Structure 1
Amino acid sequence: MGTRKVSTVIAALSGVALVTAGCVGNAAAEDYPSQPVEIIVPWGAGGSSDVLIRAFAEPLEQALGQSVLVVNRPGGGSAIGAAEAARAQADGYTLLHSSASTFITVPLRQEVNFSAEDFRSVVSLGDQPIVLVANPDTGWESLDDVEADRTLTIATTSVGNVLHLVASNFVDEAGYTSEALPFDSSSETTMAVANGDADLAGVEANIALPQIEAGEVIPLAIATSERLEELPDVPTFAEQGFERSHDRYSRVAVSVPAETPEEVVEVLRAAGEEAMQADSWREYAASTLLQDPAYVGDDFLAQYVPDDMEWTRESFAAAGVEEAAG
């Protein structure tokens, strides 16, 4: 489908043209978007999150018929960008690249000026599978092979995020202890394991796959609900009797301030769904092993985040990760 007039999209979604006097207050929404739209990425340029949003922004421009600008606002583990988006006018022109870590890990670890209630999720972009990897020199080929008479080290991009907790939950279930070794990117955590600088790492499957294929790291388990087609010989955590890291993903969505008019949200959702059918996005998703999202629309923030908050707090306690005071 080519570029469409936004007023046509609204009419299709609402079933009627906004022409009555009672709809005068929706005039701005009817004209949406009449200027460029920004997506705030609360991390630096060039990282996997930035690349993902830029891959989505291109077909979103075509669907909206307006420029979509990607704006990087790194800092505070995504807190700075999220706070800026929360303060933005709720008119649909400022969007936020949203992950579970922004609304779960970051608020649990530090005082922030925003919450999930300040936003509503518009489009869920996908779920990234997570694989647990180890150094080949360990001789470990499955979870049952892991043995330790010491504290195991886990390379991670952020203490307390889902990548870290997938690994630390396994270590705790196996009866061992762990400590986190922070790195700047998943590529670095994978290399830390390959170099023997860390024992384990939970890594996005698309990041780990080249090192797995090269034999530089060994995949011990996948945190998905079913095995991956790309890693058919790697069993899930649940298959190996470890339940706490079962069905866990790095999930990604786009959100807007909570007070954004419903008509604007509907336009964004329609455009987002159209963008996700574009060949360029489908090729990108396939190349990065991104799976269809389990939580769509409002469910990402309204359902997934509260449910995962409970899992995260339990995982913090098991891993000895401290929550922020208050």
Structure 2
Amino acid sequence: MKKRLWLVSVALIVIAVLLLSLGCQKPEQEKPGGETSEPGEAAVTFPEPGREILQLVPFGAGGGFDTTARYFAQHLTEDLGVPVITENRTGSGGIIPLLDMQKTEPDGYTLTLVARATHPPQQALHGADIRLDQLTYIAGVKEIPYILVVSKDSDIEALEDLKEKDHVILGTSGSGHISEIAAHQLADALGFELRKIPYDGLNAVGGALLSGEVDMAFLSGTIIESHKDNLRLIATFTEKRSDYYPDVPTIGELGYDLFLPVETMGYVGPPGMDPQVVEILRKALENVVNKPETQEWAASLKEIVTYIPPEEVKRSNLEVIDICIEYKDILLGSE
């Protein structure tokens, strides 16, 4: 009997010691700047103090991508605790940053932006060696629905006026932009010849529209807002009317079932990045998206800033490669 009581007492003491030791353990806290690890893995500290993160923007200053990238750079600098530097590297249809980035170490300190409407066509149609299937996708931060616009000085006041044109010149962001698919379909439906002039980003397209170099263009909210007093909005190429431009009909409401080009802006890194570093950057980007001030800023520019999971960004970009191959004859036919 005494032996049994002794064994029970020892067992209770052991249990009490174990419970006490567990209760004294402090929960692991995420360090500022980002430190994360899976069970059994050494924690990665990123970014390291004194380092800089370089984000390469594939389009010119002042455009929608550039404006959003610089906004995110400012907030990432605050949240990650190291400078996030923005550098525009333009030309060649926006592929230069992707080519340059893939020559760097996959350490998270050099990132760029992938544009769903621009980069997949460059790979599918022009053989650009940007390897979209191999990049490290971090997060998408923006959706860009396009609106067909003309200059306010244009004699095109409604979609049906295009029927009276022998030919119409379309300004595009690079060569092979997916909005060209919708433009070619529209030309076939309304009976005009489509001619195209590629420019270095939508900001340049907007300028060409106002100067009369081109007749129409597909523009985003940022560019429209910067020239809104001099533009006429013809139709939104979306399933539903824009919350920002509710008086502008959709192309479907006007009776045309056409391809709907929707751009996304995604952050990517070189192939082979450490998953822990990717997760730190992903969380930081999602945090910036979800800030109330970010949503207020986006609304002021008539833009849609929203978090898109990395796997969805990758899937949608690779999907566009297949779409471009399907419409290859249309996209390359008039080059």
Candidates 137, 140, 161, aligned match of 1:124: 140
Match of 1:282 in 2: 295
Shift in Å, 1:254: 0.4
Q: Does structure 2 retain, via aligned residues, the 8 Å contact 1:166–1:202? A: no
2:310 counterpart of 1:297? yes
Q: After superposition, what is the alpha-carbon deviation per residue over 1:218-245, rounded to whole angstroms, capped at 9, x for unaligned?
A: 2111012211122111111122232323
Q: In 2, distance between residues paired with 1:148 and 1:314?
A: 30
Candidates 36, 40, 46, aligned match of 1:32: 46
Matched AA of 1:252? M
Q: In 1, distance between residues paired with 2:154 and 2:129?
A: 44
The share of aligned pairs that are identical, in percent, is 23
Match of 1:257 in 2: 270
Unpaired runs of 5+ residues, structure 1, are: none
Shift in Å, 1:161: 1.0
2:322 counterpart of 1:310? yes
Candidates 131, 139, 147, aligned match of 2:163: 147
Q: 1:41 to 1:322 in 2, by over 3 A?
A: same
Shift in Å, 1:273: 0.9
Shift in Å, 1:166: 3.6
Shift in Å, 1:57: 0.9
- TM-score w.r.t. the length of structure 2 is 0.79
Matched AA of 1:256? G
Q: Does structure 2 retain, via aligned residues, the 8 Å contact 1:129–1:289? A: no
2:223 counterpart of 1:207? yes
Match of 1:82 in 2: 98
Q: Does structure 2 retain, via aligned residues, the 8 Å contact 1:127–1:294? A: no
Q: 1:48 to 1:10 in 2, by over 3 A?
A: same
- TM-score w.r.t. the length of structure 1 is 0.81
Match of 1:69 in 2: 85
Q: Does structure 2 retain, via aligned residues, the 8 Å contact 1:295–1:304? A: no
Match of 1:241 in 2: 255
Shift in Å, 1:96: 1.2
Shift in Å, 1:45: 4.2
Candidates 222, 228, 242, aligned match of 1:228: 242
Q: In 2, distance between residues paired with 1:255 and 1:296?
A: 12
User: Aligned with 1:304: secondary structure?
Assistant: helix
Q: In 2, distance between residues paired with 1:306 and 1:284?
A: 30
Matched AA of 2:310? G
2:57 counterpart of 1:5? no
Q: After superposition, what is the alpha-carbon deviation per residue over 1:41-69, rounded to whole angstroms, capped at 9, x for unaligned?
A: 23344444222211101111222222212
Q: 1:196 to 1:112 in 2, by over 3 A?
A: closer
Candidates 81, 100, 112, aligned match of 2:116: 100
Q: 1:81 to 1:202 in 2, by over 3 A?
A: same
**What is the number of residues matched between the two proteins?**
304
Q: In 2, distance between residues paired with 1:39 and 1:191?
A: 26
Deviates more, 1:186-195 or 1:248-257: 186-195
Runs of 4+ in 1 over 6 A off after TM superposition: none
2:195 counterpart of 1:179? yes
Q: After superposition, what is the alpha-carbon deviation per residue over 1:143-183, rounded to whole angstroms, capped at 9, x for unaligned?
A: 23421452221122322213444433322333432010233
User: Aligned with 1:55: secondary structure?
Assistant: helix
Q: In 2, distance between residues paired with 1:77 and 1:295?
A: 24
Q: In 1, distance between residues paired with 2:256 and 2:294?
A: 34
Q: Does structure 2 retain, via aligned residues, the 8 Å contact 1:190–1:203? A: yes
Q: Does structure 1 retain, via aligned residues, the 8 Å contact 2:236–2:250? A: yes
Candidates 268, 272, 284, aligned match of 2:285: 272
Q: In 2, distance between residues paired with 1:257 and 1:191?
A: 33
User: Aligned with 1:51: secondary structure?
Assistant: helix
Q: After superposition, what is the alpha-carbon deviation per residue over 1:118-162, rounded to whole angstroms, capped at 9, x for unaligned?
A: 212212111122110134565544323421452221122322213
Q: In 1, distance between residues paired with 2:36 and 2:156?
A: 56
Shift in Å, 1:210: 5.2
**Greater Rg by CA:** 2
Q: In 1, distance between residues paired with 2:78 and 2:154?
A: 50
Q: 1:120 to 1:239 in 2, by over 3 A?
A: farther
Q: In 2, distance between residues paired with 1:207 and 1:44?
A: 12
